Amino acid sequence: MSVLINKDSRIIVQGFTGTEGTFHAGQMIEYGSNVVGGVTPGKGGQTHLDRPVFNSVSDAVKKAQANVSIIFVPPAFAADAIMEATDAGIELIVCITEGIPTKDMINVKEYLKGKKSRLIGPNCPGVMTAGECKVGIMPAFIFSKGTIGIVSKSGTLTYEAVDQLTKAGLGQTTAIGIGGDPIIGTTTKEAVELLMADPETEGIIMIGEIGGGMEAEAARWIKEHGTKPVVGFIAGQTAPKGRRMGHAGAIVGGKDDTAAAKMQIMRECGIHVVESPADLGVTMLKALGR
């Protein structure tokens, strides 16, 4: 089984004919993802990568029954692209775009309230269900189908976790890269809840970083409601206070934002915390009793 996406997902690409959209749509198609078309205003009626191009997301929904959209649109227009997909009734919106102004994302977050659309990202690597569907920029060759779910703020560390799991003989169900911006659609806790409810996911890898309180929120939920082993890692253990490190959201603003504080909370909540991402696979094996 999987969460969010599967082989039957009907995917469109917003920014389809651009350089990034073209490259990654091609990779998704090659993996076997069901890409049913793309959106580039003014180019409707054309074909690209042997798929139809639509002028709007609503056209893609009406004509191709799209229910998932991935966004490769420049930062200045990405918020509008998210809201357009929401208005068209797209169930899952994955926004890869980096550098969207925080003010724009505040408006998007408010706009999404009460809507049926779920947003992953922005500034994220996307979602990958091993052996079935790729909606994003994750390198597919490191994935193997199995029973471990992954939630991560970091794209690179998502790939490291997958590689460690695969080398340990543990395949994956779904990997969710939630993004590292200060304001994102789906939180760590919400992603963990999805995987915890999936009957085929046996264990969860949770990767966070300095800044914000999402990991602590997720850890406390896991303590109260968790039914599966969770292995956690926090990036930024040597980061200085007050300096942004990598992601826009990775800045220590208070004592609870540090890696050490988050790791302590996670341990207190029963999560198997590792000091290095190199230990994710072997620690998950132990947590599963293997």
Q: What is the pLDDT of residues 154-188, one digit of tens each?
A: 999 999 999 999 999 999 999 999 999 999 999 99
Q: pLDDT per residue over 107-132, tens digit each?
A: 999 999 999 999 999 999 999 999 99
Q: pLDDT per residue over 207-242, tens digit each?
A: 999 888 999 999 999 999 999 999 999 997 755 555
User: What does the buried/exposed string (b/e) look like for 131-162 if buried means 16 or more CB atoms within 10 Å of the residue's CB?
Assistant: bbbbbbbbebebbbebbbbbbbbbbebbbbbb
Instruction: Please tell us whether the domain made up of 138-287 is placed in CATH 3.40.50.720.
Output: no
- Choose the catalytic residue: 24, 48, 247, 272: 247
- For residue 257, the model assigns a pLDDT of 74
- For residue 2, the model assigns a pLDDT of 83
Q: Just give the CATH number of 11-120.
A: 3.40.50.720
Q: pLDDT per residue over 37-83, tens digit each?
A: 999 999 999 999 999 999 999 999 999 999 999 999 999 999 999 99
Residue 249 has pLDDT above 60, yes or no: no
Q: Look up the pTM and report it.
A: 0.94
What percent of the chain is modeled with pLDDT above 90?
90
**Separation between Cα atoms, residue 108 and residue 176, nearest integer Å:** 20
With cut-offs at 50, 70 and 90, classify the pLDDT of residue 243. low
| CATH 3.40.50.720 domain residues, the chain | 11-120
Output the CA angle 163-164-170, nearest 5 degrees.
95
| CATH 3.40.50.261 domain residues, the chain | 138-287
Cis before residue 122, ω within 30 degrees of 0? yes
For tokens 């970091």, name the residue: 154
Q: Mutual orientation of helices 155-167 and 280-287 as an angle, nearest 10°?
A: 60
Tell me if residue 247 is catalytic.
Answer: yes
Which of these, 5, 189, 191, lies nearest to 90 by C-alpha position? Answer: 5
